[in-house]
């Protein structure tokens, strides 16, 4: 279950971001999850709930939105949406894709209480 390590890394970012914004308690965390990470949303939510116990993010709601994969062809510069198994460019057929989206898990926004 790789969601546990993702949740742990996410918690570190959440706490840093919360402290930087003067929050003492985290309410809602919106995360953008790249489809290529193949995260199971329920598993990530459960894992986050587990790792955040006893922290300022305990009880926080994790809202996840999936980010589809996008690629740019290094050969002809076409932008396209590759499948998870086939990265070849639909325009020129070369497998020289640079993944430009769908690869990361990022915090889109964070809300909480300041006291
Ligand atoms: Zn191409």
Tens digits of residue pLDDT in 24-58: 999 999 999 999 888 999 999 999 999 999 999 99
| Whether residue 84 has pLDDT greater than 90 | no
The arithmetic mean of pLDDT across residues 95-104, rounded, is 93
Alpha carbon of 83 to ligand 1 centroid (Å): 15
Alpha carbon of 35 to ligand 1 centroid (Å): 22
Alpha carbon of 84 to ligand 1 centroid (Å): 17
List Cβ neighbours of 56 (8 Å cut-off, separation of 6 or more).
15, 18, 23, 24, 25, 26, 112
Whole-prediction pTM:
0.84
Alpha carbon of 103 to ligand 1 centroid (Å): 20
Q: Are 70 and 100 in contact (CB under 8 A)?
A: yes
> From CA 40, how far away is CA 54, in angstroms rounded?
24
Query: What pLDDT does 31 receive?
Result: 97
Alpha carbon of 71 to ligand 1 centroid (Å): 10
Alpha carbon of 70 to ligand 1 centroid (Å): 13
Domains assigned to the chain: 3-67+102-113 (3.30.2320.50)
């Amino acid at each position: 279950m790789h969601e546990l390590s993702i949740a742990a890394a996410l918690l570190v970012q959440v706490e840093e971001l919360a402290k930087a914004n003067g929050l003492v308690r985290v309410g809602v965390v919106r995360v953008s999850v790249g489809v290529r990470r193949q995260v199971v949303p329920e598993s990530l939510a459960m894992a986050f709930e587990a790792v955040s116990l006893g922290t300022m993010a305990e009880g926080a709601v994790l809202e996840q939105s999936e980010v589809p994969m996008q690629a740019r062809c290094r050969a002809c510069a076409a932008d396209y949406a590759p499948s998870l198994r086939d990265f070849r460019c639909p325009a020129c057929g070369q497998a020289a894709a640079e993944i430009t989206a769908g690869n990361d898990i990022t915090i889109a926004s964070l809300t909480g209480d300041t006291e």
